[in-house]
């Protein structure tokens, strides 16, 4: 558990706050560091203002936008490099940051002119508690006809036998 400083407690106790969100996306070989307002150096990393906005954030879900002017996010999405990438979001006040969200990216949606990418995420914690690590598809067929049933496929006739296993 982390002890918050007096300055941080004053900032988060305000009715209306104007935090800077620090967004860190892990693309494996490289990271994207973005902020929602101004350039910030935190934890040895340089977070640049790229025009990011946080639309909604809570303990289990996050939705934010990033500009897509040079189509880099479109290229990552088309090559399948967006889904399931790690995302961490921090609230930053006066030189201090607290972790607010940690999760995985879902498929992005784009504005009509493709200049903005909206990214949704689900928290790592909720994934580990609700779903298995490997997602299974529903069965294609969940009903087997009884033994002796004749199935016709083109010119072939197949008679189902009883399972003797």
The domain limits of the chain are 6-140
pLDDT in tens, 23-48: 999 988 889 999 999 999 998 999 99
Q: What is the pLDDT of residue 36?
A: 93
Q: Report the predicted TM-score, pTM, of the whole model to 2 decimal places.
A: 0.67
CATH topology for the 6-140 domain: Thrombin, subunit H (2.40.10)
- pLDDT above 70 (res 111): yes
- pLDDT above 70 (res 136): no
Q: What is the pLDDT of residue 45?
A: 93
DSSP H or E stretch at residue 117: strand 116-123
pLDDT band with cut points at 50, 70 and 90 for residue 83: confident
- Output the CA–CA distances (angstroms, integers) from residue 109 to 36, 55, 113, in the order listed: 19, 14, 11
What end-to-end distance do the CA atoms of the chain give, in Å? 56
pLDDT band with cut points at 50, 70 and 90 for residue 1: low
Question: CA-CA distance, 61 to 78, in Å (whole number)?
Answer: 23
CA 157 from chain centre, in angstroms, equals 49
């Amino acid at each position: 558990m982390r002890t918050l400083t007096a300055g941080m407690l004053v900032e988060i106790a305000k009715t209306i706050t104007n935090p800077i969100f620090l967004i860190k996306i892990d693309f494996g070989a490289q990271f994207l560091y973005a902020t929602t307002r101004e350039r910030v150096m935190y934890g040895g990393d340089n977070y640049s203002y790229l025009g990011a906005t946080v639309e909604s954030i809570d303990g289990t879900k996050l939705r934010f936008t990033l500009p897509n002017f040079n189509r880099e996010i479109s290229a990552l999405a088309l090559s399948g490099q967006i889904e399931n990438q790690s995302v961490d979001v921090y609230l930053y006040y006066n030189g201090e940051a607290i972790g607010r969200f940690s999760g995985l990216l879902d498929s992005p949606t784009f504005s009509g002119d493709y200049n903005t990418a909206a990214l949704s995420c689900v928290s790592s914690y909720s994934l580990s508690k609700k779903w298995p690590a490997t997602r299974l598809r529903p069965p294609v067929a969940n009903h087997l006809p009884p033994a002796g049933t004749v199935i016709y496929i083109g010119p072939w006739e197949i008679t189902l036998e009883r399972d003797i296993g």
